A and B are shown apart, each in its own frame.
Chain A
Amino acid sequence: MLCVRTHTRRCGFFILAVSIACAGPQGRPGLRDQTGAIVPSGPATRIISLAPDVTELAFAVGAGARLVAAPATADYPPQASHLRRVDPGDLESVVALRPDLVLATTAGNDFRFVARARALGLAVCCTDVTSFARLAEACRLVAAVVGCEPRGTQLAAELGARVAALERASAALPRRAALYVAWWEPLIVASPGTFHDDLLLRAGLANVAPGSGGRYPRLDPETLLDSRLEVVVVPDEPDMRDGFTRLLSTTAGSRLRARALRTIWLPADAANRPGPRLVDALAALVLAREREP
């Protein structure tokens, strides 16, 4: 009991310390973001997020209260739904909101837009999450640019610990050949070097997608008939369910129909957004694998 109280008190002090550290606008040092560009130093009191994953990151590191706008798709955490909406392709609207920091991501934002925003003098921090290690780095980076380094370090450590625990759990599972399906018609999958590839890897799955053809190559549907392929991992959203239903009635979907090829559905937002909830997607994947027949 005493131990629990002491732990609770320590946590309380830590949260207090983090809150104080993130309490107000602070000058940020000039840092390089994950695309290699320098984020100019300055305060971060009016932050605009251009994508759902960086919105989640901003909230997770304690800068949610300083977000002034986010795209309509940014719906997590629930407070994000109350933010003013901004079109991530409308630079005039972004400038009109007078941001002192813009958070962007390579997972969805047009890099020419980011370049134009920088050319106009806006401070832009762009994340490029291609693995869980890069996700931890993105947590520390975003925390640093908004002046909440301790929370960023803590968040990165928490995520790292969860990933390590899930990896240990998946190490006991048989290694299976898998694909992460981003779209059914046409068949688009995640290639090596993407955060989805790392998701499969950490869950004990071997991504059999080709390394060529970009981050998300289009494959021949016959790939689904390859007997070596054992698992397909899919984000659970209505369009993907509809595509799956249509595919089941085709020849290419015969192994899926016969359940010779296992389908694992993951919570779509967690799996599709390279933000802090990507670890939840990993947990769901490992759990689904543990329940394998």
Chain B
Amino acid sequence: MRRGADALLVAALVGAVLAALLWGGSALSGSDVLRVLAGGGPPEARTIVFGLRLPRIVLALLVGASLALAGAALQALLSNPLADPFLLGISGGGAAASTLAVVLLPPLAIALVPAAALAGAALATAMVWWLARGPLGPSPTRMILAGVAVNAATSAVILAVLAMASSPRLPGALAVTMGSFASASTEAVAWLVPYILLPAALLLHHGRDLGLLATGEESAAALGVDVGVVRRRVFLAAAMLCAGAVAFAGVIGFVGLVTPHICRLVFGQQPRRVLPRAALAGAALTVLGDLVARRALAPVELPVGVVTAVLGVPFFVVLLRRSS
């Protein structure tokens, strides 16, 4: 059963990538894309496939995997099914800094927007960690509460920035808040890959520890888990993944929340099993979401976050009903 589900997951991922490559835009037909992939086609078609579509697909894969992996890890760490990068204010911090940078930076400094997002997410993470500190270290409940407070603050910053943004900057600032892969480029992918590799590897490495933590801190400690270290590492690694995702694609909701739930329903509760599968499922969902966002009302592009919610939530509801 699980092996079949694994095969289905990989097939869904490959199918989503192929569909996005062949039908991801209105300028080239599927046969044009195949001609380019075979080494033919005019230069502009090659630019579209290799300069626009492929980087966009790879960025969507990376962002989707990062968000889902971070969500799965945070839900396991905090034993809270609602925990995700948004609830903890991490995405909000990145988005607030991004919108500020989009509105304030001169046009030639546009390349600094992702750096600002990373700094904003890091600041939000630090604030959540600092606010959640108690006599016995940061507790899951305090972390959620601190996240809600930081989220409210970052939302206020974003709204203030949007209210004061000049009209040429407004589309860019709105794109940050709604999520978009329109700015995907080879350079963005090259920046993001090394940035997410370490935290992703760290989370996968701690999969077993997260499973033991779910049985209780004391029993986990008795079985050799350094609870404080694992908690700190997992939280920071998840925050880094979210920061990278927000920096290059803006805020994309539901992937980090829904995907881990779907994976737990299909593959069981063990974080060791769920984490890698959540990454794959998140990647597939995001690529598919971006494809629908581009094609549903083409040439108008919908916010990716809206589509990922529309795609993910009904699937989640069906699985939830079946399992109950």
Chain A interface residues (CB < 8 Å from chain B): 35-37, 87, 89-93, 95-98, 106-116, 119-121, 126, 212-218
B26 near A90 with CB under 8 A, answer yes
On whether A89 and B52 interact (CB within 8 A), knowing A95-B27, A116-B182, A215-B167, the answer reads no
For chain B, what secondary structure do more than half of its interface residues adopt (helix, strand, loop), or is it mixed?
A: helix
Chain A's closest residue to B299 (CB) is: A87
Contacts of B28 in A (CB 8 A): 92, 96
A95 near B167 with CB under 8 A, answer no
Chain A's closest residue to B176 (CB) is: A112
User: What 10 A-B pairs have minimum CB-CB distances, sorted nearest first?
Assistant: A215-B166, A96-B27, A92-B27, A87-B299, A92-B25, A214-B166, A110-B171, A106-B168, A90-B299, A214-B164
On whether A116 and B26 interact (CB within 8 A), knowing A95-B47, A214-B166, the answer reads no
On whether A115 and B48 interact (CB within 8 A), knowing A109-B168, A214-B164, A216-B166, the answer reads no
Alpha-carbon distance between A214 and B110 when the two chains are bound, in angstroms: 18
For chain A, what secondary structure do more than half of its interface residues adopt (helix, strand, loop), or is it mixed?
A: loop
Per-residue interface assignment for chain B, residues 258 to 301, with 1 indicating a CB less than 8 Å from any chain A CB and 0 otherwise:
00000000000000000000000000000000000000000111
Contacts of A97 in B (CB 8 A): 44
B25 near A36 with CB under 8 A, answer no
Chain A's closest residue to B172 (CB) is: A112
**Cβ 8 A contact of B167, one of A87, A116, A213, A216:** A216
Does B124 interact with chain A (Cβ within 8 Å)? no
A35 near B171 with CB under 8 A, answer no
B52 near A92 with CB under 8 A, answer yes
Chain B's closest residue to A106 (CB) is: B168
Alpha-carbon distance between A119 and B51 when the two chains are bound, in angstroms: 9
Does B165 interact with chain A (Cβ within 8 Å)? yes
On whether A120 and B47 interact (CB within 8 A), knowing A37-B108, A93-B27, A96-B27, the answer reads yes
Closest beta carbon of chain B to A190's beta carbon, Å? 10
Contacts of B168 in A (CB 8 A): 106-111, 215
B299 near A89 with CB under 8 A, answer yes
Which of chain B's residues 25-77 have a Cβ closer than 8 Å to chain A? 25-28, 42, 44-45, 47-48, 51-53
Alpha-carbon distance between A96 and B53 when the two chains are bound, in angstroms: 13
Does B185 interact with chain A (Cβ within 8 Å)? yes
Does B142 interact with chain A (Cβ within 8 Å)? no
Between-chain CB contacts (< 8 Å), 29 pairs: A89-B300, A89-B301, A90-B26, A90-B301, A91-B182, A93-B25, A95-B47, A95-B51, A96-B27, A96-B28, A96-B44, A96-B45, A96-B48, A97-B44, A110-B172, A111-B107, A111-B172, A112-B172, A112-B175, A113-B182, A115-B110, A116-B182, A116-B185, A119-B187, A214-B165, A214-B169, A215-B166, A215-B167, A217-B164
Alpha-carbon distance between A24 and B47 when the two chains are bound, in angstroms: 27
Contacts of A119 in B (CB 8 A): 185, 187
B299 near A35 with CB under 8 A, answer no
Contacts of A96 in B (CB 8 A): 27-28, 44-45, 48
Alpha-carbon distance between A218 and B163 when the two chains are bound, in angstroms: 7
Does B183 interact with chain A (Cβ within 8 Å)? yes
Closest beta carbon of chain B to A11's beta carbon, Å? 38
Instruction: List 19 other contacts, CB 8 Å, given A89-B182, A90-B27, A96-B45.
Output: A36-B108, A89-B300, A90-B299, A92-B26, A92-B48, A95-B27, A95-B48, A98-B44, A107-B168, A110-B172, A110-B175, A111-B172, A112-B171, A112-B172, A112-B183, A119-B187, A120-B47, A215-B166, A217-B164
Chain B's closest residue to A218 (CB) is: B163
Contacts of B301 in A (CB 8 A): 89-90
Alpha-carbon distance between A121 and B48 when the two chains are bound, in angstroms: 12
Chain A's closest residue to B42 (CB) is: A98
Alpha-carbon distance between A87 and B26 when the two chains are bound, in angstroms: 11
Contacts of B172 in A (CB 8 A): 110-112
Contacts of B45 in A (CB 8 A): 96
Chain A's closest residue to B43 (CB) is: A98
Contacts of A215 in B (CB 8 A): 166-168
Closest beta carbon of chain B to A216's beta carbon, Å? 5
Contacts of A37 in B (CB 8 A): 107-108
B167 near A35 with CB under 8 A, answer no
On whether A111 and B110 interact (CB within 8 A), knowing A89-B182, A95-B52, A119-B185, the answer reads yes
Contacts of B111 in A (CB 8 A): 115
Alpha-carbon distance between A37 and B25 when the two chains are bound, in angstroms: 28
A107 near B107 with CB under 8 A, answer no
Contacts of A216 in B (CB 8 A): 166-167
